[in-house]
Structure 1
Amino acid sequence: MPTPEERLAEAKQLSGLPPVVAICGSTRFMAEMNEADLRETEAGRIVVKPGCDLNAPHALWSDPDEAAALKIRLDELHRAKIRLADEVLVVGDYIGDSTRAEIAYARSLGRPVRFTHPEVDPGRPPAAPR
C-alpha cells in the first residue's frame, strides 16, 4: 500500500503539475524570500513560502498568547508545505533553530534542499584547513 507521500507524488505527476518549491528561512529575509518567489515562479515552479512575519507588527498577532499559539500553527503549516513540495530553497545567510529543523525535516523526507548561500548549509562538511 503506498504511503500518503507516494500517493501525493503520483497525483502530482498524473496531473502534470510543475515542480513545487518550498521557500524556507528566517523571516528577517522576507524581502529575499519575495525575490526568490519571483525567480522561482518565472522559472516555472509553484512556490509555497511563509505567509506571516510574526516579527512585523500586525493585529492578528498583537496579543502575546495568541502569537505563541499562532507560531505553533504556522510551524505545522510550514511542515505541510515542505511535505507538499518537491524541493526546498533556503533563503538567507543565517540558519536559526527553526530553519535548521525545517532543513532536517525536508531531508528526512528525501527532499532536495538548495541554498541561496550554500556556505550556511548545516549538512555541509567543514572546509579543509589551509
Structure 2
Amino acid sequence: MSYPQLLTPEEKLAEGKTALGIRDVVVLCGSMRFAELMAEVAIEESVAGALVLKPDCNMKLPHPLWADPAEAEALKVRLDDQHRQKIRLADRVIVVGDYIGDSTRGEIAYARQLGKPIRFTHPEVDPAP
C-alpha cells in the first residue's frame, strides 16, 4: 500500500495561491533612500497585474513610532522579519536602486536561498559572484 506524498509548506502555499486566483506576487527590496523609485516600480508592476509587496515604514524619516532609539531598534528587527515573510510569499523579487546595503544584501541572499527569481533595476549592483 502506498501513501500519498505530503506537500511541503511551499507547495501548500502555491496550491493555496492558485486556489485563490493569486497568480503573481512580487516583493520589492532595496534601501528606503529609493522610496520614490520603489513606488514607481510598484505602480508599473501593479498595472501589469502583479500583487506588490514592499517595505512601508521608512525609518530614515522621523516618526513617533520609532522616535525612541531602543524602540526603533526592536522595530527594525520586526520589520526585517516581516520583509522576509514577504519574500517567502512572493513568486519573484525586484531589487530597486543602484546601491546595495547590508539589509538588502541579506534579503537577496535569502531570496536566492529560497530559489526566488530576482531582477535588479540596476543589474550592475548584483552582489552575485
Task: State the TM bucket, normalised to the shorter chain.
Answer: over 0.9
2:13 paired with 1:21: no
Q: Does the alignment pair 1:43 with 2:48?
A: yes
Residues 16-42 of structure 1 show CA distances to partners (whole Å, capped at 9, x for unaligned) of 213000000001111111011100001
- Give structure 2 stretches of 5+ with no counterpart: 1-5
Query: Which residue matches 1:54?
Result: 59
Structural mapping, 1:91-130, within 5 Å: 91-123=96-128
In structure 2, the partner of 1:90 is 95
Normalized against structure 1, the TM-score is what?
0.92
Q: Which runs of 4+ in 1 moved over 6 A?
A: none
Cα distance in structure 1, aligned partners of 2:15 and 2:86: 17
Name the CA distance, whole Å, in 2 between partners of 1:121 and 1:57: 30
Q: Which residue identity does 2:29 align to in structure 1?
A: C
- The whole-number CA distance in structure 2 between the counterparts of 1:15 and 1:55 is 36
Specify the alignment match of 1:81 in structure 2: 86
TM-score w.r.t. the length of structure 2 is: 0.93
Work out the CA distance in 1 between the residues paired with 2:111 and 2:7.
Answer: 19
CA distance in 2, matches of 1:15, 1:62: 39
Tell me how far apart the structure 2 counterparts of residues 18 and 10 of structure 1 sit (CA, whole Å): 11
- Specify the code of the residue in structure 2 equivalent to 1:86: D
Partner of 1:51, secondary structure, is coil
Deviations 1:82-117 (A, max 9, x none): 000000000000001110110010011110000000
Long gaps (5+) in structure 1: 126-130
C-alpha separation between the residues in 1 aligned to 2:112 and 2:20?
A: 25
CA RMSD for the aligned pairs?
Answer: 0.8
